[in-house]
Chains A and B, each alone.
Chain A
Amino acid sequence: KNEVEQSPQNLTAQEGEFITINCSYSVGISALHWLQQHPGGGIVSLFMLSSGKKKHGRLIATINIQEKHSSLHITASHPRDSAVYICAVAPNNAGNMLTFGGGTRLMVKP
């Protein structure tokens, strides 16, 4: 079993829909990252969080440390949000080395 599991693996939405991507992990962590990878391959860090909730524009990330679960929400989705979203955790005592989930491929149709 992977240390980091994401669901769903693939997601297709209509423009304007509210989207949720889930991430569960099995180890103690010092931080969790949400990353976005566009078709060209480049990776952008969206959020790093260790508790609570963060918001940036239409993106919201939450984490529940006790339940070892995080969610990434996209409100009012747009075709430009189409990308692979990757959850990564920094296990405790691992020097911030990241362990990655398998990614969620999101396609938003106009």
Chain B
Amino acid sequence: DSGVTQTPKHLITATGQRVTLRCSPRSGDLSVYWYQQSLDQGLQFLIQYYNGEERAKGNILERFSAQQFPDLHSELNLSSLELGDSALYFCASRKGLAEGYNEQFFGPGTRLTVL
């Protein structure tokens, strides 16, 4: 158990809908990362938050947004869902920002299926 929790574990929805994925980092970790793992693209970085502020953006679609709340949990919002958004969504947390210094701890993932 990494100490990172994600809910829900599974989510099945229809095209055009909107969903929210939730992540609670390990106690004391200020940084949260969101990743998408699809069959054709593999694992890709989406976005990073540190202590409530967005720090880095990767291959995140405009239909997707995220935020980190004062209690440090984070939510990833996916809207106007398409079939191709079906994937595993992971969040990971780490203590700080210093490069290369803190390993990331991954949550169990949310499996999103868009029908």
Contact = CB atoms under 8 A, between A and B. Distances in A.
A95 B102 CA distance: 11
Contacts, number: 67
A29 B99 CA distance: 9
Given A95-B56, A97-B48, A42 B104 contact: no
B109 A42 contact: yes
Contact of A97 (B33, B102, B105): B33
Contacts of A48: 100, 103
Interface magnitude class on chain A: 20 to 34
A86 B43 contact: yes
A39 interface: no
Interface residues of B, number: 27
Contact of A103 (B31, B42, B100, B111): B42
Interface stretch (A17-25, A30-38, A68-76): A30-38
Contact of A43 (B31, B101, B106, B111): B106
B76 interface: no
A102 B42 contact: yes
B45 A99 contact: yes
A100 B58 CA distance: 12
B23 interface: no
A44 interface: yes
A35 B106 CA distance: 10
Interface of B: 2, 31, 33, 35, 42-45, 48, 55-56, 58, 88, 90, 94, 97, 99-106, 108-109, 111
Interface of A: 29-31, 33, 35, 41-45, 48, 50, 86, 88, 90, 92-103
